[in-house]
Amino acid sequence: MEYYSKQISRLIAELSSLPGIGAKSAQRLAFHILNMPKDDVNMLANVLVEARNNVHYCKECFTLTDAEICPICGNPKRNHKLIMVVEDTRDLAAYEKTGKYDGVYHVLHGAISPMQGVGPSDIRLKELMQRLQKEDADEVIIATNSSLEGETTAMYISKLLKPTGIKVTRIASGVPVGGDLEYIDEVTLLRALDGRTEL
C-alpha cells in the first residue's frame, strides 16, 4: 500500500539511493525539503546541478575540483617533492584536517581488487608514473587503507617505484586512541609495533 503520493515517493526513493541514506533518513530528508522555502530548494537544486557539471579531476593530483588545478597543487608553499598517494578524495580531506602535512597528493580513485575485477589499469597508477617522470619527487608516501585491497595496492606501487630510486614509505597504522589492546587484531598490532618511533 502506498502511503505517499507519487512525487513524494519518488523523492524518497531518489534520496534513499544515496550512500549512507536509509529509508527513514530519506523520508526525513524528503519532508525537510518539502517544508523548506521554495527559494532554498531551488538553490539546493542549482548547487547540485552546478557541482555535477563543473567538478572534475585536477590535472595534477586527480582530486575533485572545479578549477583546472586544485588549491593544494596550485599552492607554491606546499612541498611538491613530497607526494602522498591516497585512495580517494575523502582520504585527502582527512589528512588535510590534521593540518600537519605540507606535501601534495595523488588520488587513485580506488584500490586494486582482483575479487571485484579492479586491476592496476582501473585506478590512476599510470598517471602517477607519468607525474613522477615529469616531477622531481624526493618521496612518495603510500597512504592506502589497511584493508587487503589497500595493502595489495601499496605493495604494487612500491614494486613499481623501486627501480626509480624515489624513496617510498608507507604510513604506519596502529592502535586507535582509546583502543584496548586486547580487542585489536594482530595485523594492526604488528603495524603499530613496526611503525613505532623513539620517544
Confidence of residue 69 (pLDDT cuts 50, 70, 90): very high
Q: How much is the pTM?
A: 0.80
Cell output for 142: 603510500
Residue pair 105/84 in contact (Cβ under 8 Å)? The answer is yes
Cα separation, 187 vs 141, whole angstroms: 20
pLDDT above 80: residue 108: yes
CA quadruple 186, 192, 196, 199: dihedral sign: negative
Residue 111 · residue 87 · CB < 8 Å = yes
Q: Which of 95, 154, 106 is CA-nearest to residue 134?
A: 106
pLDDT in tens, 13-43: 999 999 999 999 999 999 999 999 999 999 9
For 152, the enclosing helix (H) or strand (E) is helix 148-161
The grid cell for 170 is 608507507
Give the tens place of pLDDT for each residue, 167-195: 998 887 765 666 665 666 777 767 667 77
Q: Which three cell numbers stand for residue 196?
A: 613505532
Q: Which domains does the chain have, with CATH numbers?
A: 78-194 (3.40.1360.10)
Model confidence over 157-171: pLDDT tens digits? 999 999 988 999 888
Q: Find the radius of gyration of the CA atoms of the chain.
A: 21
In whole angstroms, what is the distance from residue 65 CA to residue 112 CA?
24
